[in-house]
């Protein structure tokens, strides 16, 4: 596990700021009708996704979900390319073939493109981990699942096999309290994910998903365990989906007080304040970071909006390798 | 979306106009009112939310949470649960959030539900509502038209209405049917078309096609959203007399109507939005090539989606999807044949 | 829970004897080439299947598996009909449509016909239980799953929903140490099924599956709990599959010592000896029971073999209700 | 089983005769020998057991348990695992214990594997081996022919050999192919036919049909076990000159060969064991009805399984399944047309 120096934590803040800035800009664009199709806000998930991205090594592979924007960014998927995908441009990683964050994979960056179908990312990532194991490579595969996705059959099959084969596999459960409109208590009676992992003989940890330092530490422990041949880990990240399921969803079904309480635990603000309290950085320096993020995102949007749509004649390209 | 579904029919003069979505919601509510065994289940269908498309909105308040059951994300499991409920005489209406996720429930449909009655007499009277079809920039996993998988599977019934009135009438029939019925709703029609829907009980028998318009030169056999593309395409070729048959039910197929329509013009276009390769249109074309061969005056032209996933970006999706122009050209080609 | 009187336990022995006699006769027939298609021996599962059948009330519904012959018999599916199915006769419950014990459902007997596809019986049975719950009927639905079937995704989805909805649902896990040729340790790292149930907040018990009295007590507790609105129960039945996966399977992969050890725990012999030791019945009386079973099975086979095969003209009958 | 597969070809004079099953086993072993990335996984495939049909027997001893991986009963999960392995460059050969259980793995095949390369360039070079087909009294869940589901799905390749030599050559090609390939093995052929199989490397290109016999009067287009039924049926009608085309690959289809064969005789029978309704035969018939219409001298006769589950009892399964007599009658009907 790479020690969490102050520099690294400031870097982490920068990634979280970039992620949040991307999200805010995307939401604004879609509300203005400048978007295409749907879009998922990840607001509130910055600590989880950035920690996952930073805790992995360069040769590791990750299969992020629809709220793991930060992971994509940390792994090197540029905002230009992601906005290109969101806007259906030929310059996006799917060349206009897949929507929003779906399918934005790039194996050169160690990123698997995901599909809607829950929980396909899990068995796929297990297969990546198994390839590493069978080839005796010291590499790790990580993916995430929501509280909702945890109730899907493939999750059980994947956890059982990950345990059986002692695969170098790390799973982060993003317990953000809702699956679309369905609250946790209408999804399962026991939401003790760490205990569920134990029933598979899988090591687990329960973490405040809005605390970057805690997330980074927990993911690092899992990644190290996997790399050392210690088998899989499940990390239960306690967090909240702040802006509804997707752009069209007003999320009226979420109690106001609940949102208010979680607003006080905003992961980006928390990281910012912690660095300030520690005197690790000044307000001015943090503002520079935020402004830099803002500039990058605005430039990315401009680039993406200016990029060409795919040529219809390419419709059949790539159906087969 | 890529087509304009500003569908209008004679009945529009009448006072009672509903959207395709409202017609579906009305059928569900009326059947739940009529029969306490009718219930709804699926992801997010319950509470004040009422489903991704709001089709079931208000039902929970009206009929209670037991009859409008929110499920976890577990299509295989909750469809299997519907199998057991149906065996006990309940009539669950299972909502797939999108037709694309019906593949996740596959075994519960194509292995259990479809075979229970044939094997041991177990009746499975459920309906699966599957919001399907594209043209609305939803990408590969929210635009699928998987009907062919289910028509190929013995023991299922498959329905795909194209108008609000048929949506209400066929859904009512599907709910009352003692067999598993997969009800494909064309998402692009949900709010884009509005037409007359009979108030109160309205049943359209499963298995009967409808002639949308009569014609002598060329017949278009189609269903779902493509009925409207066919009509509009025909309008662009006024000098050709086009007959349009809306299948409405894909299984059991109204073979008589298909053969009669084919024989009437001797020239046939089979049209659907689903992938063309081994799609349901192949069955229709093959049926005609075998049973109406002597009446054919030209090749049977099949128009369907490309043999690719449904792409997201407008230029690609428009190229993927059967267009008004493609259909119009086919009409001209056959007319000139 | 109906008290386990001596009469009931002697009745139980009679059912176990009938089940074992059926199984022996079937195996012999198939070895002689008098069978049709494949056949699964349930040898070793008599205590589980008979206890399940007897612990249920007349209005309850059960979905037995391919090794639950005793449950079918106790519920009133006659040996004639079952042999009729095995031999593809028009007189079998599937009228020659389904093979071996597959699909031999009869709702008049409260039996759901099962399909090969694992674990379809689980969600189906949950649906039956939910129908009872929604109609406020005091009825229970029970099914079984193997150690192998437990690793299948639908099992997880079913257990989660059974717990969520507090359904009157009882699941017996038949831990018979193998899934076809695959031993438990190649299926999962933790085979502690009761603990797995706890992760769903489902009540559970671990029982010696070869001890009828223990099985009957455990199933009865679960059935009563379900009937009283206490929700689902998982019963882990420790047992052994004594004759391989199916008739064609020599099961050379099973260690001799393992079989020898389990042979000493034969559930039918155990019940017989226990009744004798208690002085509840004499050897002679037990022999009469066994001879009666033998007579019934021979008669059933004769009837089934004499029964007509289905008429090809009925091929399409019943595709639709 | 209902047909006699005592298939014999000219090559039988040659010394090296293998069964269909032995040919498959040989292809797997040779490819595992050649390429360390090739591996096998599935239920019961490993150890000394070697799978329900013993196709992989001996491989674990030879190549180790890591490359011959026993899985739990979790088709969705282990096929999804194969997706991830394949993305990393491994070439997993996934054994479905029976083709009937491929529906349990559906999402991992028709949603992930089939679309990964189109969407973002992820290569998924696996092969699924699916022991399919019936006629051997195995009942509704051990006799299925589900190929149509997969031909309809964009992004997959589908292969169905009818001879030991093609089984070896096509499986070798499938393993080396960079796309997901579903390899349908006809169970009834496993041990019932034995013919010449080239020793050492033998590759049959995916996408090329084979003319089994030439003829002028009637063409039978078929694949898998039905190739043998077609040949035997043709033998019973010596006065009719029957051309037989073995498709071998269903996707990508050798359309040229299909159209050429159809045009050559003008009379066509499309034959397969799978359910006829919306089966792959419909695609073949529709293709011909559209592209070879002017050459047709008679209706395109489609012969396939009934629209029922595959029944277990001999009289029912024989009625369900295309028989030699049915095919012979169709030949006569078309010849007389
Ligand atoms: C098999 C399947 N069914 C339904 C959906 C539709 N769907 C997309 S996201 C979602 C909710 C997911 O909830 P959760 O797993 O908690 O993730 P979150 O959105 O909360 O981050 C649903 C139901 C899907 N993608 N896949
Ligand atoms: C989805 C699925 N995959 C594979 C099979 C083939 N199969 C039939 S029984 C069996 C083993 C079942 O093992 P277990 O659940 O332990 O039950 P047991 O046979 O030991 O009683 C397998 C793999 C199946 N029926 N369903
Ligand atoms: Mg969630
Ligand atoms: Mg077992």
pLDDT digits (tens, 9 = 90+) for B108-139: 999 999 999 999 999 999 999 999 999 999 99
Which tens digit of pLDDT belongs to each residue from D44-57?
999 999 999 999 99
Ligand 2 in contact with C148 (CB < 6 A)?
yes
In chain C, what residues touch B123 (CB-CB under 8 Å)? 321
pLDDT class of A3 with cuts at 50, 70, 90:
confident
Confidence of residue D89 (pLDDT cuts 50, 70, 90): very high
Measure the CA–CA gap between D237 and B175, rounded to whole angstroms.
50
| DSSP string covering C95-156 | TTSS-TTTT--BGGGTBPPP-SSTTTHHHHHHHHHHHHHHTT----EEEEEETTGGGSHHHH
pLDDT at C277 over 90: yes
Omega before B23 within 30 of 0, i.e. cis? no
pLDDT at D11 > cutoff 90: no
Is the predicted pLDDT of residue D231 greater than 70, yes or no? Answer: yes
* Pocket lining: B75 vs ligand 1, CB cutoff 6 Å: yes
Instruction: Collect all residues with Cβ–Cβ distance below 8 Å to C189 and sequence separation of at least 6.
Output: A163, A164, A200, A201
pLDDT at B15: 64
CA closest to D81 among chain A residues: A127
List the single residue in C with minimal CA-CA distance to A231.
C189
Distance B127 CA to ligand 3 centre (A): 28
CB contact under 8 A, A151 and B76: no
Q: pLDDT tens-digit profile of C110-151?
A: 999 999 999 999 999 999 999 999 999 999 999 999 999 999
- According to DSSP, the β-strands at D157-159 and D249-251 are antiparallel
Nearest to D266 by CA among D245, D292, D230, D244: D292
Choice among B142, B196, B202, B228 that is catalytic: B142
Instruction: Give me ligand 3 centre to Cα C225, in Å.
Output: 32
For residue D139, the CA-to-ligand 2 centroid distance in Å is 16
Subunits that touch chain B (at least 3 Cβ pairs < 8 angstroms)? A, C, D
Nearest to B197 by CA among B161, B246, B247: B161
Closest-lying ligand 1 atom to the alpha carbon of residue A147: 16
Strands A233-238 and A169-175, sheet pairing: parallel
Q: Mean pLDDT for chain D?
A: 95
A187·C198 Cβ contact <8 A: no
Which residues 57-96 in chain D show a CB within 8 A of chain C? Answer: 70, 72-74, 76-77
Strand partners, C111: C62, C106
Q: Could you tell me the distance, in angstroms and rounded to a whole number, from the CA of residue B208 to the centre of ligand 1?
A: 37
- Is C122's C-beta closer than 6 angstroms to any atom of ligand 2? no
Task: Provide the 3-class DSSP secondary structure of residue A134.
Answer: helix
Tens of pLDDT, residue by residue over B6-30, are 444 434 445 699 999 999 999 999 9
Q: Please state, in angstroms and rounded to a whole number, the distance separating the CA atoms of residues B52 and B47.
A: 12
Q: Measured between alpha carbons, how far is D240 from C140 in angstroms, rounded to an integer? A: 64
* Res. C311: pLDDT tops 90: yes
User: Does the C-beta of C118 come closer than 6 Å to ligand 2?
Assistant: yes
ipTM of the complex: 0.98
Q: Which of C92, C24, C70, C39 is nearest to C294 (CA)?
A: C24
- Is pLDDT above 70 for D5? no
Q: Cite the beta strand spans of B151-300 per DSSP E.
A: 157-159, 181-186, 194-196, 210-213, 218-222, 242-246, 249-251, 268-275
Chain B nearest CA to A3, separation (Å):
38
Each residue's pLDDT expressed in tens, for chain B with a length of 337 residues: 333 344 444 344 456 999 999 999 999 999 999 999 999 999 999 999 999 999 999 999 999 999 999 999 999 999 999 999 999 999 999 999 999 999 999 999 999 999 999 999 999 999 999 999 999 999 999 999 999 999 999 999 999 999 999 999 999 999 999 999 999 999 999 999 999 999 999 999 999 999 999 999 999 999 999 999 999 999 999 999 999 999 999 999 999 999 999 999 999 999 999 999 999 999 999 999 999 999 999 999 999 999 999 999 999 999 999 999 999 999 999 999 9
Alpha carbon distance D38, D28 (integer Å): 8
CA distance A226 to A222: 6
3-state class (DSSP) for residue C284? helix
Asked if A106 and D120 come within 8 Å (Cβ–Cβ), the reply is yes
Q: In which band, very low, low, confident or very high, does the pLDDT at C263 lie, cut at 50, 70 and 90?
A: very high
Using the beta-carbon criterion (under 8 Å), do D307 and B154 form an inter-chain contact?
Answer: yes
pLDDT tens-digit map of C154-185:
999 999 999 999 999 999 999 999 999 999 99
At residue D6, the pLDDT reads 40
Chain C CB contacts of B182 under 8 Å are none
Contact D19, D193 (CB under 8 A): yes
Task: Using pLDDT thresholds of 50, 70 and 90, give the confidence band for residue D212.
Answer: very high
Nearest CA, atom 13, ligand 2: C179
User: What distance in Å separates residue B119's CA from the closest CA in chain C?
Assistant: 5
Chain A residues with CB under 8 Å of B325 CB are none
Alpha carbons D178 and D168: distance in angstroms, whole number:
18
* C-alpha–C-alpha distance, residues D291 and A136, integer Å: 53
Per-residue confidence at D10, pLDDT binned at 50, 70, 90? very low
- Residue B238 CA to residue B5 CA, distance in Å, equals 19
Q: Is A79 in the pocket of ligand 1 (CB under 6 A)?
A: no
User: How high is the mean pLDDT of chain C?
Assistant: 97
pLDDT at D12: 44
Task: For CA atoms D63, D65, D71, D72, give the dihedral sign.
Answer: positive
Angle at C8 between CA C6 and CA C10, to 5 degrees: 70
- The pLDDT value recorded for residue B7 is 42
CA distance B48 to chain A (A): 7
Tell me what the mean pLDDT of segment A5-13 comes to: 97
Say yes or no: CB of residue A68 within 6 Å of ligand 1.
Answer: no
Q: For residue D125, report the distance from its CA to the centre of ligand 2, in Å.
A: 27
Closest ligand, as measured to the CA of C41: 2
Three-state SS for chain D is CCCCCCCCCHHHHCCCEEEHHHHHHHHHHHHHHHCCCEEEEECCCCCCCCCCCCCCCCHHHHHCCCCEEECCCCHHHHHHHHHHHHHCCCEEEEECCCHHHHHHHHHHHHHHHCCHHHHHCCCCCCEEEEEECCCCCCCCCCCCCCHHHHHCCCCCEEECCCCHHHHHHHHHHHHHCCCCEEEEEEHHHCCCCEEECCCCCCCCCCCCCEEEECCCCEEEEECCCHHHHHHHHHHCCCCCCEEEEECCEEECCCHHHHHHHHHHHCCEEEEEEEECCCCHHHHHHHHHHHHCHHHCCCCCEEEEECCCCCCCCHHHHHHHCCCHHHHHHHHHHHHHC
- State whether the Cα torsion A144-A145-A150-A155 is positive or negative: negative
C302 pLDDT higher than 80: yes
Cross-strand bridge partners of residue A172? A144, A235
CA of A149 to the centre of ligand 1 (A): 6
Closest ligand 1 atom to A40 CA: 19
Contact B319 A315 (CB under 8 A): yes
Taking the Cβ of residue B295 and every Cβ of chain D, the question of whether any pair is shorter than 8 Å is answered with no
C318/B79 Cβ within 8 A: no
Give the largest CA-CA distance in chain D. 60
H or E, element range at C185: none
- Mark which residues 122-141 of C lie under 8 Å from B by CB: 122-132, 134, 141
Q: Please give the distance of CA C136 from its chain centroid, rounded to a whole number.
A: 27
Give the number of the atom of ligand 2 that is nearest the alpha carbon of residue B107. 1
- Mean pLDDT for chain A? 97
Q: Whose CA is nearest to atom 6 of ligand 2?
A: D97
CB contact under 8 A, C151 and A163: no
């Amino acid at each position: 596990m790479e020690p969490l120096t102050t520099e690294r934590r400031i870097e982490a803040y920068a990634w979280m700021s970039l992620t949040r800035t991307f999200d805010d800009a995307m939401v604004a664009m879609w509300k203005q009708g400048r978007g295409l199709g749907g879009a998922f806000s990840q607001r509130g998930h910055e600590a989880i996704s950035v920690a996952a991205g930073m805790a992995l090594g360069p040769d590791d592979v990750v299969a992020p979900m629809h709220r793991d924007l930060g992971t994509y960014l940390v792994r090197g998927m540029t905002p230009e390319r992601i906005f290109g995908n969101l806007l259906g441009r030929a310059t996006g990683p799917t060349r206009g073939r897949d929507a929003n964050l779906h399918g934005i994979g790039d194996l050169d960056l160690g990123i698997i493109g995901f599909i809607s179908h829950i929980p396909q990312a899990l068995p796929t990532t297990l297969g990546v981990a198994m390839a590493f194991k069978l080839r005796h490579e010291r590499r790790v595969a990580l993916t995430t699942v929501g509280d909702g996705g945890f109730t899907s059959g493939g999750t059980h099959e994947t956890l059982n096999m990950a345990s059986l084969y002692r695969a170098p596999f790390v799973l982060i459960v993003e317990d953000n309290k809702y699956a679309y409109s369905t609250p946790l208590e209408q999804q399962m009676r026991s939401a003790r994910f760490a205990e569920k992992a134990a029933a598979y003989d899988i090591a687990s940890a329960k973490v405040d998903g809005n605390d970057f330092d805690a997330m980074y530490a927990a993911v690092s422990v899992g990644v190290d365990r996997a790399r050392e041949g210690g088998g899989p880990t499940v990390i239960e990240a306690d967090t909240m989906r702040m802006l509804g399921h997707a752009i069209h969803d007003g999320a009226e079904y979420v109690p106001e007080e609940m949102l208010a309480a979680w607003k006080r635990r905003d992961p980006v603000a928390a990281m910012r304040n912690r660095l300030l309290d520690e005197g690790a950085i000044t307000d001015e320096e943090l503002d520079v970071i935020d402004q830099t993020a803002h500039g990058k995102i605005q430039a990315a949007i401009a680039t993406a909006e200016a990029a060409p749509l795919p040529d219809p004649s390419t419709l059949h390209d790539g159906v087969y390798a | 979306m890529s087509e304009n579904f500003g569908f209008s029919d004679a009945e529009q003069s009448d006072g009672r106009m509903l959207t395709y979505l409202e017609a579906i919601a009305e059928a569900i509510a009326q059947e739940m009112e009529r029969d306490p065994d009718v219930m709804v289940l699926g992801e997010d269908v319950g509470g004040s939310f009422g489903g991704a498309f709001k089709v079931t909105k208000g039902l929970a308040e009206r009929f209670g949470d037991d009859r409008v059951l929110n499920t976890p994300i577990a299509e295989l499991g909750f469809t299997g649960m519907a199998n057991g409920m149906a065996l006990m005489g309940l009539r669950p209406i299972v909502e797939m959030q999108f037709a694309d996720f019906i593949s996740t429930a596959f075994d519960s449909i194509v292995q259990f539900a479809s075979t229970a009655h044939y094997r041991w007499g177990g009746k499975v009277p459920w309906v699966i509502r599957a919001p399907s079809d594209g043209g609305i920039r939803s990408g590969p996993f929210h635009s699928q038209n998987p009907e062919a998988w289910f028509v190929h599977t013995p023991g299922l019934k498959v329905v795909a209405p194209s108008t609000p009135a048929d949506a209400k009438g066929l859904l009512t029939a599907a709910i009352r049917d003692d067999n598993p019925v997969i009800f494909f709703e064309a998402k692009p029609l949900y709010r884009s078309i509005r037409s007359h829907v009979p108030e109160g009980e309205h049943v359209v028998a499963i298995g009967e096609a409808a002639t949308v318009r009569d014609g002598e030169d060329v017949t278009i056999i189609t269903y779902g959203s493509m009925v409207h593309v066919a009509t509009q395409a025909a309008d662009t070729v006024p000098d050709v007399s086009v007959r349009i048959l809306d299948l409405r039910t894909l299984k059991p197929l109204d073979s008589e109507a298909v053969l009669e329509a084919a024989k009437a013009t001797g020239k046939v276009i089979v049209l659907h939005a689903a992938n063309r390769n081994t799609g349901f249109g192949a069955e229709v074309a093959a049926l005609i090539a075998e049973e109406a061969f002597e009446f054919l005056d030209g090749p049977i032209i099949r128009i369907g989606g490309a043999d690719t996933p449904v792409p997201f970006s407008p230029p690609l999706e428009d190229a993927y999807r059967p267009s008004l122009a493609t259909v119009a050209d086919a009409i001209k080609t056959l007319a000139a044949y």
